[in-house]
Structure 1
Amino acid sequence: MAHAYTPGLQVKDEILYRVQRLLPIPGEVLVQEGDKVAADTVVARSQQPGDIFPINLANQLGVSPSEVPKVMHLQVGDKVEKGELLATSKGIFGLFKTSRNSPYSGTIESISHVTGQVIIRGEPIPVQVNAFVAGKVMEVFPEEGVSIETKAAFVQGIFGIGGEIQGPLVIATESANEDLTAELIKPDHRGSILVAGRRIHGDAVKQAQESGVNAIIGGGIDDQDLKEILGYDLGVAITGSESIGLTIIITEGFGEIAMAQHTFSLLQRHAGALTSVNGATQIRAGVLRPEIVIPTEGTLNSEETAQRVGGGVLEVGSHVRLIRDPYFGRLGTVADLPTEPHILDSGSKARVLVVDCESGGQVTVPRANVELVGDQ
């Protein structure tokens, strides 16, 4: 039987989810191997060096650079508060002295007799890494972080914005074909992860921001709504650092695209469960996909392990999503995998496949234009 390897998104009702939680700089690991952790448990922490503030005291005091160390009231390593006296010039015959107070709080890092500059290092910035998911610490990396495992239901989205957040899963629409509109957002949705069936409307996002919703998961979103939410055109980038007050994860694509029924049903079955989401996405390259992780109880019956990017063998009968225009977002089943390259409308040659679309009809597209959609 003809087959090929292609990227794909995982949608799994039961899987062993593994994640490494690492500090950006060396620090202190706060848990031990075998510990059980909650999603918000801080597993490692560190101190990031504060900002650097240069002050040209030679110019400000009207002295030569070589005199700056002699007029300082503080020395390298001393703490200084904003407004505290930093230096005083000797003046002329003890008169007409000039003083300068520190415009910053921090620590004196250097005093240069060559440039006449004093450098103040701001207060250290605390850095903490939480567990992200409830689970068990499987490995400790000294001064770096930990590896955590948990049994979970797992869904990869096609696109997302916003970072990591947790909350109870709430199904906001009655079906996978219903849009999320502003009137569906309620005050008691504060702190929750909302699931919408089809398109997430821009006014719903605004209402969710005002209501304190942690995240929204939906089938699709209009690109103009997304631009208005962000305040700029996203372009090609890595998402996840947006500061919009919530995380948004799209499971299917742009436009009025209903969430795949098996994905919606999976989320329905876990309504009320504490859920962890991360909207970080590597656009176009597809090396980083948004994740929805729902830790579950009991014994793991599956031997599968969640990978950050899915993939697998593409063959007749495989469930796929089309990821290029003009069929972007359509779901279907592979009907045929011709072995010989076909000539495309552009005039180029490529290996293709035939897809029976769930929405009806059959299309022939390049194999690079599809990705696998994992079954439950």
Structure 2
Amino acid sequence: MGYAYTPGLKVTDKMLITKKRILPLKGDVLVKVGDKVKPDTVVARTLLPGNVEPINVANILGIPPEDIMDCMLKKEGEKVKHGEVIAKSKSFFGLFSSECKTKTEGSVESISSVTGQVLLRGNPIPVEIKAYLEGEVMEVYENEGVAVSTWGSFIQGIFGIGGETHGEIKIVTKDNTEILTDKLIDKNCKDKVVVGGSLVTADAIKKAISLGAKGIVVGGFSDKDLRDFLGYDLGVAITGSEELGITLVITEGFGQINMAEITFDLLKSKEGQMACINGATQIRAGVIRPEVVIPVKEDVHKKEKTEEFENIGLTVGYPIRIIREPHFGRLGKVSALPPALQKLESESSARVLEVEFEDGTKAIIPRANVEMLEE
């Protein structure tokens, strides 16, 4: 029988999820192994060096660079306040003077008598890392961070924007085919993770932000609306750092695409429970996918049944999504895996599979044009 490995998205009702929460620089870890944590629990913190601001003191005072040391009122390492005079020069027998004031608060990093510049280092920037999940600290990395584990449902998306957040799941569409419009968003969506069907409109997102919704999980989104929403064209980069007031997770792709029924049914069965979502996406090497995690209270030390989650590649009966035209976005199951290469319309040869769509029709698809839905 034909056999191939194909990329896939996880849609799992229950699995052990572990997330490493690591500081950008070494700092202090505030929890220990075995501690129970909530999504907002701060597990580690550190101080990042402040921004550097160069000041051309020699130019401001109108003196040669080599004379800067005689005019400085502050030495290297000394603290300065915003608007404080750090250098002063006098001219014409002391009748006239020039001053150089700071535009930031921090300390004097360096003074150069070659360039006549002074570098000011802003105050350290505090950084806190939160647990993100509701679970238990399984491992501590000294001065760096922790690993937090929880049992729960896990759903991967295709694309997302916005960072980590959490809220109670609220289903607002009748089924996975309905469009999420602004009429379905009301004051009851405040602090909720709103779940829609096939598409979310730009007006719905704006209304959700104004009412204080935490996130939106939906099948599709228009690329034009995305561009208008962000205010710029999104290139090949990592998303998730956007500060738009909401996190968006797209489960299927761009355009009006019905959310996979297994995904919608799973979210619907968890309505009212807390979901932790993250829109961070990277679509090049080192793939990062947006995700929805729905924690359940269960012993994280219980062993996971590896056979349930072992990826053995495509097999007959496996659920898949088509990721290329002319059947882009359609869902179905593998009905046959011909082992021999077959000639395509492009006259190239490739390994193919037969897919049976949800309406019972069948089609021959190149294996590279499908994505597995890992249940």
Q: Settle same-fold status: TM greater than 0.5.
A: yes
Counterpart in the other structure of 2:36:
36
- Offset at residue 306 of structure 1 (A): 11
- Offset at residue 24 of structure 1 (A): 1.2
1-structure distance, mates of 2:89, 2:224: 60
CA contact (8 A) 2:150 2:298 kept: no
- Offset at residue 360 of structure 1 (A): 4.1
Counterpart in the other structure of 2:168:
168
2-structure distance, mates of 1:256, 1:294: 25
1:183 match: secondary structure: helix
Cα deviation digits, residues 190-249 of structure 1 (max 9, x gap): 111001122111211111111111110011122222222222332433222223221111
Q: Aligned ranges for residues 42-61 of structure 1 at < 5 Å?
A: 42-61=42-61
2-structure distance, mates of 1:306, 1:19: 20
Q: What is the letter of the counterpart of residue 242 of structure 2?
A: E
Counterpart in the other structure of 1:230:
230
1-structure distance, mates of 2:236, 2:66: 50
Cα deviation digits, residues 274-320 of structure 1 (max 9, x gap): 1100111222668221110010023568525999xx95410111111
CA contact (8 A) 1:16 1:303 kept: no
Q: What is the letter of the counterpart of residue 373 of structure 1?
A: L
- Offset at residue 115 of structure 1 (A): 1.2
Identity %: 49
TM-score by structure 1 length?
A: 0.94
Q: 1:359 to 1:240 in 2, by over 3 A?
A: farther
2-structure distance, mates of 1:96, 1:185: 66
Counterpart in the other structure of 2:337:
337
Counterpart in the other structure of 1:303:
305
CA contact (8 A) 1:84 1:102 kept: yes
Q: What is the letter of the counterpart of residue 144 of structure 1?
A: E
2-structure distance, mates of 1:85, 1:115: 20
Question: Which 10-residue stretch deviates more, 240-249 or 229-238?
Answer: 229-238
2:7 match: secondary structure: strand
Cα deviation digits, residues 249-296 of structure 1 (max 9, x gap): 111222222212221111111111111001112226682211100100
CA contact (8 A) 1:137 1:148 kept: yes
Question: Which 10-residue stretch deviates more, 216-225 or 15-24?
Answer: 216-225
Q: Aligned ranges for residues 131-150 of structure 1 at < 5 Å?
A: 131-150=131-150
Q: What is the letter of the counterpart of residue 187 of structure 1?
A: K
- Offset at residue 95 of structure 1 (A): 3.0
CA contact (8 A) 1:217 1:250 kept: yes
Structure 1 gaps, min length 5:
none
1-structure distance, mates of 2:306, 2:155: 14
Q: 1:358 to 1:194 in 2, by over 3 A?
A: same
Counterpart in the other structure of 2:119:
119
Q: Aligned ranges for residues 29-108 of structure 1 at < 5 Å?
A: 29-108=29-108
1-structure distance, mates of 2:308, 2:273: 19
2-structure distance, mates of 1:305, 1:52: 53
Q: What is the letter of the counterpart of residue 210 of structure 1?
A: S
Counterpart in the other structure of 2:177:
177
CA contact (8 A) 1:6 1:311 kept: no
CA contact (8 A) 1:160 1:280 kept: yes
Structure 2 gaps, min length 5:
none
- Offset at residue 84 of structure 1 (A): 1.1
2:267 match: secondary structure: helix
2-structure distance, mates of 1:130, 1:304: 29
Cα deviation digits, residues 121-179 of structure 1 (max 9, x gap): 11111111100101111111111111111011111112211111111111111222221
CA contact (8 A) 1:48 1:127 kept: yes
Q: 1:230 to 1:372 in 2, by over 3 A?
A: same
CA contact (8 A) 1:15 1:305 kept: no
2-structure distance, mates of 1:161, 1:348: 37
1:292 match: secondary structure: strand
2-structure distance, mates of 1:318, 1:60: 71
Q: 1:123 to 1:137 in 2, by over 3 A?
A: same
2-structure distance, mates of 1:290, 1:306: 23
1:128 match: secondary structure: strand
2-structure distance, mates of 1:110, 1:73: 13
Q: Aligned ranges for residues 132-281 of structure 1 at < 5 Å?
A: 132-281=132-281
Counterpart in the other structure of 1:13:
13
2-structure distance, mates of 1:49, 1:169: 38
- Offset at residue 333 of structure 1 (A): 0.5
2-structure distance, mates of 1:106, 1:285: 39
- Offset at residue 321 of structure 1 (A): 0.8
Counterpart in the other structure of 1:130:
130
TM-score by structure 2 length?
A: 0.94
Q: Aligned ranges for residues 361-376 of structure 1 at < 5 Å?
A: 361-375=361-375
Counterpart in the other structure of 1:313:
313
Counterpart in the other structure of 1:348:
348
2-structure distance, mates of 1:62, 1:222: 56
- Offset at residue 89 of structure 1 (A): 1.0
Q: What is the letter of the counterpart of residue 44 of structure 1?
A: A
Q: What is the letter of the counterpart of residue 178 of structure 1?
A: E
